[in-house]
Amino acid sequence: MNLLVMTLSIYLLFLIVFFIFMYRGEKKEAAEKNTNEKFLLSTVIGALVLSLIPTAVIMGIILFATGSANVLVSFFELEIGFNQIVIMSVCMVVYSFTFDNIFVAVGRHLIGDNFFKFIFASLFRFLFIYIVGILCSIGSSDNFKLSLGLTLFFLLLECIFPKKPDRTQNIES
């Protein structure tokens, strides 16, 4: 998938969502104030501007994941196409924001709140990347190297930038 098409698709999705919510709010507000105010232009402009923020954040994360996968492909001299790298990166980002938190929580519950919970979650991360690689028709040797490299890369990021504990849990009443 072309990155420009992906960016435009994400932008269009957020544009539609923001427009619908803003239009409903403005329509309700105009009905409460009994005004015949023209709010369509301001709603369109607001939705256009607000849609840029989540699109930029999501595409920044996807480009980071694509770049790290591309570096691994170049470093290990793997034969993986750019479209396959992009698909794997998008799947990795979606996984990171959905299921990864679940496996970290399960690891915290089973192992405790220490570094091993990240190793526990990394096993599932590796399996997920490997399965996506199989679905993208990447050769088994290249797929294993890329999956292991991406898993170790994200584990290294978790070691370098650990999450700070939640302050609301430490507040004593």
Judged against a pLDDT cut of 50, whether residue 155 lies above it is answered with yes
Residue 51: its pLDDT value, please? Answer: 96
Could you list the residue range(s) of the whole structural domain that residue 106 is in? 3-170
- For residues 80 and 89, give the distance between their C-alpha atoms in angstroms, rounded to a whole number: 13
Q: What is the DSSP string of 15-39?
A: HHHHHHHHHHHHHHHHHHHT-----
User: Apex CA 25: angle with CA 31 and CA 13, to 5°?
Assistant: 145
Task: Give the per-residue pLDDT at 164.
Answer: 65
For residue 173, what pLDDT is reported? 44
CB of 55 closer than 8 Å to CB of 7: yes
Number of domains in the chain: 1
pLDDT of residue 169: 52
Higher-scoring residue by pLDDT: 11, 2: 11
- The pair of three-digit structure tokens given for residue 79, joined into one six-digit string: 């034969």
pLDDT digits 0-9 by tens, 97-154: 888 888 888 888 888 888 888 888 899 999 999 999 999 988 889 999 999 999 998 8
